[in-house]
Amino acid sequence: MRGADFEKCLGRNRMSMHSALLKWPVTRRDALPVALWSAQEIAAATGGTASGDFQCAGVEMDSRDVRPGDLFVALKGESMDGHRFVEKAFAAGAAAALVERPVDWPHVLVEDTGAALEALAHAARERADAKRIGVTGSVGKTGVKEAIFAALEKSSRGQAHRSVRSYNNHVGVPLSLARMPARSRYGVFEMGMNHAGEIAGLTDHVRPHVAVITTIAPAHIENLGSIEAIADAKAEIFEGLVKGGTAVIPADSEQYEQLRASAEKRGVTIVSFGRADHADVRLLDAIPAANGGSLVTAQVRDSRLCFTVAEPGEHWVSNALAVLAAVQAAGGDLGAAGLALAELGGLKGRGARHHVAVTGGKALLIDESYNANPASMRATLRQLGQTPATRRIAVLGSMKELGDFGPEFHRQLAEPMGEADLDYAVLVGDEMLALARHLGKAGSGTLGKTPAFAHCDGPAEAIAALQEYGLTAGDAILVKGSNSIGLGKLVDHFTRRV
């Protein structure tokens, strides 16, 4: 090609490239804003009045957690008024505030900040062309939520969103929705409850395309009275499912038929997971993996999948099946889900593993300090019993919200403790007195082995009890209890010594 012809060709290519750029954006999602919220968008969503023009990169309700560019929502509660912390929020870098009275900084003025946050959440839900997944259950909902997010985040190349921490209540769910970027392809939201009717309100905010129930166990039985009532309360999540949505339910649960009937009333697709022969996502085989997790083979409808679950314990095998069911229902990639499950690490307070400095070297500390109920206690004690260790030690905090059922549920922990072959146990909290008295009875008969144990009022005494017992290299220490017992302080004490 001669020089002149080459220049003409190059010129045509440049014009073609320029024309292509002028046609950008090419999809609806590409036309959406990059900033999370503008002043005009917030005002339109909430019916409020903006003080001026601004943009926000995030939404926060706690001034201690505000980051530069956030919208600070000044919520008012029975004993706390967020307006008292507006100045602190702006000192931390807030771009604007959502308020009920004018302030000297950029803001949107509304009548009710709580109602405005919900309106902002609904606007975020409607503007994003995202598949929304709601997750609830008595055990495992946070871990399953995180695993579903990791799978969808991987397959969508960073365009998945989820609720952080345990933002699963009447404030946390709207806040998590309001934080969802317009360009999100997926949103994963955790929903919690301790009374009937609460999940119905949360699912109405999210309006999920996929609703997952991980399991049913006697958590919050003090308020609900029976396992059947707990199942009904969890099944409220199906009420919010969009037309054509999918309910994901545990096939191995004793409440399976009850959950299935609740979903059928909504006319939605039902996908079950578990070991049962009738499960749509069915466990075929699970063997221990070298890293402490499991090698799993599962039948997913017409496909057979082999993958690794990094998190140890039989309960995580079941969790993995729920994740596969949810990801497939949301149109995600099962291969990405398998990779995410292989890479998933333990969450703080929910299975994080630490190697802590002790006499002679390192010991393994398993942090399950955030939550506890009879089912999760049994599962984690079983996991401890399968963990290679020179000695096995359990620090067990009281299980809350069990009401009149509490003493018996605590006494029943003697059996899984015996099966775990514990060398020492530290029992923390008033409710654990029932178990301590049971263990103290001569010839209690429920244990293969009765461990040495101590009963403590709180985490400080528990730390002292462990120090007196003497942790040594090769020990495995499980720390498990309801969050209000404060065993996270014990975990922090020993992990600082890493």
pLDDT at 443 over 80: no
pLDDT at 13 over 70: no
User: What is the model's pLDDT at position 2?
Assistant: 54
- Which carries the bigger pLDDT value, residue 30 or residue 433? 433
323-374 pLDDT per residue, tens:
999 999 999 999 999 999 999 877 787 888 899 999 999 999 999 998 888 9
Q: Is 74 left (phi over 0), alpha (psi -120 to 50) or beta?
A: beta
**Does residue 205 contact residue 150 with C-beta atoms inside 8 Å?**
no
pLDDT at 498 over 50: no
User: What is the model's pLDDT at position 12?
Assistant: 55
DSSP string covering 26-66 = -STGGGS-SSSEEHHHHHHHHT-EESS--EESEEES-GGG-
Residues in CB range of 60: below 8 A, 6 or more apart? 66, 67, 70, 71, 72, 73, 89, 94
Token pair in block for residue 378: 């049994």
pLDDT at 393 over 50: yes
User: What is the model's pLDDT at position 32?
Assistant: 61
User: What is the model's pLDDT at position 194?
Assistant: 83
Question: H-helix or E-strand containing 4?
Answer: helix 3-22
Which whole number is the average pLDDT over 409-422?
A: 94
**Does residue 179 contact residue 168 with C-beta atoms inside 8 Å?**
no
Which whole number is the average pLDDT over 222-243?
A: 93
| 439: three-class secondary structure by DSSP | helix
- Please give the distance of CA 291 from its chain centroid, rounded to a whole number: 23
User: What is the model's pLDDT at position 10?
Assistant: 45
Pairing of strands 303-309, 58-60: unpaired
DSSP string covering 355-397 = EEEEBTEEEEEEEETT---HHHHHHHHHHHHTS--SEEEEEEE
d(CA 175, CA 280): 34
| 309: three-class secondary structure by DSSP | strand
- Omega before 25 within 30 of 0, i.e. cis: yes
User: What is the model's pLDDT at position 351?
Assistant: 83
**Does residue 281 contact residue 273 with C-beta atoms inside 8 Å?**
yes
**Does residue 211 contact residue 221 with C-beta atoms inside 8 Å?**
no
**Does residue 231 contact residue 193 with C-beta atoms inside 8 Å?**
no
- Within 10 A of 113 (CB to CB), how many other CB atoms are there? 24
User: What is the model's pLDDT at position 145?
Assistant: 96
